[in-house]
Chains A and B, each alone.
Chain A
Amino acid sequence: MLKFPIYFDNHATTPVDPRVLDMMLPYFREHFGNAASRNHKYGWEAEEAVEIARKQIADLIGASAKEIVFTSGATESDNLAIRGAAYMYREKGDHIITAVTEHKAVIDTCKRLEKEGFRVTYLRVRKDGLIDLDHLREAVTDKTTLISIMTANNEIGVLQPIADIGAIARERGVLFHTDAVQAVGKVPFDVNAANVHMASLSAHKMYGPKGVGALYVRRRNPRVLLTPLIEGGGHERGMRSGTLNVPGIVGFGKAAELCRLEMAFDAAHTRVLRDRLNQKLHQNLGELYINGSMERRLPGSLNISFAYVEGESLLMGINDVAVSSGSACTSASLEPSYVLKALGTGDELAHSSIRFGIGRFNTEEEVDYVADKLVGVVRKLREMSPLYEMAKEGVDLSKMQWQTH
């Protein structure tokens, strides 16, 4: 039995795994203590639970428990990593390197630092969405203190070569932060194998609750220090004060444990479904363009542009399916996705894109429904599209003089 709307937007957030919720509930009810209360059982229980979760999260990424700093989510983690390192190492240098396709939590943080006098290099990406390692090497100067490149992109799902980036960072004595939100729990991620100094994580992208995230901060080879953004009781090694969200952290830990134990199964499941969707669409529709590398990509991720059809009208036509579009009409800014624009595929294809995020709880039956529905809607909208008609008549749309408004 299909349940509507079908949820194919697992890049935005994932449902909480029932096993995660079961672990959390006692920490709302009987074990409600403050993990910083040192004088009674309530506090001890909460602290113990937090430390178990810390270990579970560390184990997922090959870190030690002490290297996990809990935050309110990945946006805060990105802010803490970038601003915290920029301020701490300002004496050493004032230059940061990132990429144009990073999440806004990274881009906007870098822009803020630019206003404060730091210099930022925004690396362009290739057509497949990956950065060029030679560009990175050329960008590093003796004033560079930090490289921040995401592990997997939230819109197009491509996996950056983080082990290579980590090696360059290590060789040049620069810190490497990665926003690993989309990747951790989905694909193997090891902070030592990739030479990562800091990594942002989020619980709600891996079947945990919203409102809790973490920043991995390396403690040896080298020991990374950060200027805190939130001052207070000196929690989390002084890097992030504030009473810990104990139920959220317990859920995050359980979610991390499940991802570690079930990653191979989840990855195979979502890859099979993603490939099935892709294949069905290609069998039935022409002029589809996949955005980003298909080889270096998260298993459940697919971003496709349906030529001649505008993305928001596509979403309206499949209104019993929850997905996202890079179309401007779906955003308040009226600008199409900056990530898709960065690939150089042209604004019209950015307007025609849909992001599918297939997750642990999706089924083959759902894929078949979505594929069939999309094929029908795309055909209908193409029949309604003047661009499709012109293309069929042999008009070169790129050479048309359009009347922009």
Chain B
Amino acid sequence: MAYSDKVVDHFNHPRNVGSMPKDDPSVGTGLVGAPECGDVMKLQVRVNPSTGVIDEATFKTFGCGSAIASSSLATEWLKGKTVDEALAIKNTDIVAELALPPVKVHCSVLAEDAIRAAIADFKKKQEAGQ
């Protein structure tokens, strides 16, 4: 299978690999997928409490090159977006940007799930803190 240049670029130079403290109230963490399915994504966002803007996003992914590229791309897109704007990111946007073949569409779905899970986690912490 040939990979698109963008997938190869994200795989060779992944953006924003890392972790943030998951107990930090301004950090939302999403952990999706399962090892037996061959994909696990951890995606984290740090939201600026005064502006509601995501000023930092990180990921760690166990998965194929397309899964790594999808999560790397997601962190790039998340930075600078508000929480609501982030929720508007669709897996089909990722498919289009990375030119994923049909057999790899599930990687983009997982990335979208990870974004939603991270933001849900952040919102839950906000509500608990109020």
User: What secondary structure prevails in chain B residues at the interface with A?
Assistant: mixed
A347 interfacial contact with B, CB 8 Å: yes
CA distance A329 to B37 in the complex (A): 10
Give the residues in chain A near B110, CB-CB below 8 Å. 405
B37 touches A404 (CB 8 A): yes
A404 touches B38 (CB 8 A): no
CA distance A401 to B33 in the complex (A): 10
Partner of B62, one of A308, A334, A347: A308
> Given that A308-B62, A389-B19 are known contacts, is A348 also in contact with B14, CB under 8 Å in the complex?
no
Minimum Cβ distance to chain A for residue B104 (Å) = 8
B62 touches A385 (CB 8 A): yes
A316 touches B35 (CB 8 A): no
Tell me the chain B residues, 60-80 only, with Cβ under 8 Å from chain A: 60-68
Q: Which of A327, A384, A397 has the most CB of B within 10 A?
A: A384
CA distance A214 to B23 in the complex (A): 65
A383 touches B68 (CB 8 A): no
Tell me the chain B residues, 40-62 only, with Cβ under 8 Å from chain A: 40-42, 60-62
A346 interfacial contact with B, CB 8 Å: yes
Give the residues in chain B near A404, CB-CB below 8 Å. 33-34, 36-37
Q: What 10 pairs across the A-B complex have the smallest Cβ distances?
A: A402-B34, A347-B36, A348-B35, A386-B42, A312-B64, A329-B64, A351-B38, A386-B60, A316-B65, A404-B34
Q: Which B residues fall within an 8 A CB radius of A?
A: 3, 8, 11, 14, 17, 19, 31-42, 60-68, 103, 106, 109-110, 113
CA distance A404 to B37 in the complex (A): 7
Q: Which A residues fall within an 8 A CB radius of B?
A: 308-313, 316-317, 327-329, 332, 334, 336, 346-348, 351, 383-389, 397, 402-405
Give the residues in chain A near B62, CB-CB below 8 Å. 308-310, 385-388
> Given that A313-B63, A316-B11 are known contacts, is A387 also in contact with B35, CB under 8 Å in the complex?
yes
> How many residue pairs between the two chains, A and B, have CB atoms under 8 Å in the bound complex?
93
A312 touches B65 (CB 8 A): yes
Give the residues in chain B near A311, CB-CB below 8 Å. 38
Minimum Cβ distance to chain B for residue A320 (Å) = 13
CA distance A387 to B66 in the complex (A): 18
A387 touches B40 (CB 8 A): yes
Give the residues in chain A near B14, CB-CB below 8 Å. 384
Give the residues in chain B near A336, CB-CB below 8 Å. 38
Give the residues in chain A near B34, CB-CB below 8 Å. 402-405
A327 touches B61 (CB 8 A): no
Minimum Cβ distance to chain A for residue B16 (Å) = 11
Partner of A316, one of B37, B64, B106, B109: B64
Give the residues in chain A near B33, CB-CB below 8 Å. 402-405
Give the residues in chain A near B19, CB-CB below 8 Å. 389
Minimum Cβ distance to chain B for residue A366 (Å) = 23
Give the residues in chain B near A332, CB-CB below 8 Å. 103
Give the residues in chain A near B61, CB-CB below 8 Å. 384-386
Partner of A310, one of B31, B63, B113: B63
Give the residues in chain B near A397, CB-CB below 8 Å. 35
CA distance A388 to B14 in the complex (A): 17
A384 touches B35 (CB 8 A): no
CA distance A346 to B34 in the complex (A): 12
Partner of B103, one of A334, A346, A387, A405: A334
CA distance A387 to B34 in the complex (A): 10
Minimum Cβ distance to chain A for residue B117 (Å) = 8
Q: Which of B32, B63, B110 has the most CB of A within 10 A?
A: B63
CA distance A347 to B39 in the complex (A): 11
Give the residues in chain B near A389, CB-CB below 8 Å. 19, 42, 60
User: Which of chain A's residues has its CB closest to B109's CB?
Assistant: A405
CB pairs A–B below 8 angstroms (25 shown): A312-B38, A313-B64, A313-B65, A313-B68, A316-B3, A316-B65, A317-B11, A327-B38, A329-B63, A332-B103, A346-B36, A347-B38, A384-B14, A384-B61, A385-B60, A385-B62, A386-B40, A387-B35, A389-B42, A397-B35, A403-B31, A404-B36, A405-B32, A405-B37, A405-B113
